[in-house]
Amino acid sequence: MTETAVGLPRRFAALVKLEHTVFALPFAYVGMLLALGEVPTAAEWFWVTVAMVGARTLAMGLNRLIDAEVDARNPRTAARELPAGLLSRAQVVALCAVALSVFVLAVFQLDPLVRWLWPVPVVLFVVYPYLKRVTWLCHLWLGVSLGLAPMGAWAALTGELPWQAWAVGAAVALWVAGFDLFYSLFDAEHDRREGLESWAVRFGEQGVFVGARLHHLGAVGLLALAGIGLDVGPAYWLGVGAVAALLGYEHSLVRPGDFRRLDAAFFTVNGVISVIFFAFVLLDSIVG
C-alpha cells in the first residue's frame, strides 16, 4: 500500500478535525429524538449521520481553503495541512466536492422539506470564513451554522420546524458561540496585527468572559424553554441540569490572564456536554 493511500485519508481527517464532529452530531440526534418523541429507525439514524458528516466535512474544508493564507501567517495555525503543504488546494477542493455530494445524497433520502433547504447551510459555510475580516459577530454566525444541526434533523424526519425546534437550535447556537468566544483568546494578538475582527479584539479579555457567560446562560434558558413546550420527562430536565453544571465547570477552568486550561475547557468539556445531553434525551425517549 502506498504512502499516499495511507497518509492522504489521515491528512484529510486532520484537516477537518474529524474528532470534533462530537460537538455537532449529538445535537443532531437530539433534534431527531425531540421531533419524534421516540427512538428513530435505523435508516433515519443512518441518513442523518451521513448528512451531518458530509455537511461538517464541507464546512471545515471550505474554512481551511478560504483561510489558508491567514492560517499561514498565524504561528498557531501555520502547521495546518494547507499552509504546511501537506495537502494541495486541489485536493481540498476535491474533498469539498465529495463532501457536498455525500451531503446532498443523504438529504434526498429524508423529508422533502430539507431537499429545498439544503443550500442554506452551504451558504452559511461559505460566508463564515470571510466574516472575521469584517465583523466581531463572526462567532454568532458560527453558532448559527452548528445550531442548524438539531433543526435540520428535526425537519428531516418530520417536515416541520415548530418553535421548539428553533429554541433548541438557538440554544446550540449560543452554546457554540459562547465557547468560540473563549477560543478567540488564542488568536487575539494575531488578529489585531492582521486587522481581523473578533470578540476578543473588540471587547478584550474581560468582554470575552462576560459575553461567554451571557451566551451560555441563554443556551440553558432556551433548552429549558424547549422542554416546557415539549412532552418530555425527568431525564430531559436532568440533561438540562447537567449542561448547566458542565458549563459552570467550563467557566471555572479559565479566568482573565490564565488560559492554561483553555484547551480542556474548549475541547474536552464541550465534547462531554453534547454527548451527555444526548444521552439524557435518548434515555427520556426510551423511558418515554
CA 2/CA 185 separation, integer angstroms: 41
Can you tell me which residue has the cell 425546534? 165
The pLDDT of residue 185 is 87
CA 48/CA 155 separation, integer angstroms: 11
Round the average pLDDT of the chain to a whole number and report it. 91
Which residues is 249 bridged to in the sheet?
A: none
204-240: b or e for each residue (b if 16 or more CB lie within 10 Å)?
eeeebbebbeebbebbbbbbbbbbeebebeebbebbb
Res 59 pLDDT > 50: yes
Nearest to 243 by CA among 185, 176, 183, 186: 176
Higher pLDDT, 175 or 259: 175
Are the beta carbons of 48 and 156 closer than 8 angstroms? yes
Confidence of residue 13 (pLDDT cuts 50, 70, 90): confident
Average pLDDT of the residues in 10-22: 80
Q: What are the structural domain ranges in the chain? A: 10-287
In this prediction the pTM is: 0.93
Q: Which CATH class is domain 10-287?
A: mainly alpha
pLDDT 10s digits, 81-102: 999 999 999 999 999 999 999 9
Work out the number of other CB atoms within 10 angstroms of the CB of residue 127.
14
Joined together, the cell numbers standing for residue 124 give 452559511
* H/E segment holding residue 22: none
Nearest to 173 by CA among 193, 203, 144, 216: 144
The pLDDT of residue 15 is 85
CA 69/CA 234 separation, integer angstroms: 49
Nearest to 103 by CA among 35, 154, 52: 52
Res 264 pLDDT > 70: no
219 alpha-carbon distance from chain centroid: 14
Joined together, the cell numbers standing for residue 207 give 468582554
Using N-to-C axis directions, what is the helix angle for 138-158 and 119-131, rounded to 10°? 170
Joined together, the cell numbers standing for residue 252 give 471555572
Confidence of residue 265 (pLDDT cuts 50, 70, 90): low
SS3 255: strand
With the CA atoms of 251, 192, 134 and 93 taken in that order, what torsion angle do they form, in degrees rounded to the nearest 10?
-90
Q: Which residues 6+ apart lie within 8 Å of 157 measured at CB? A: 32, 35, 36, 40, 44, 48, 110, 111
Work out the number of other CB atoms within 10 angstroms of the CB of residue 35.
25
Confidence of residue 1 (pLDDT cuts 50, 70, 90): very low
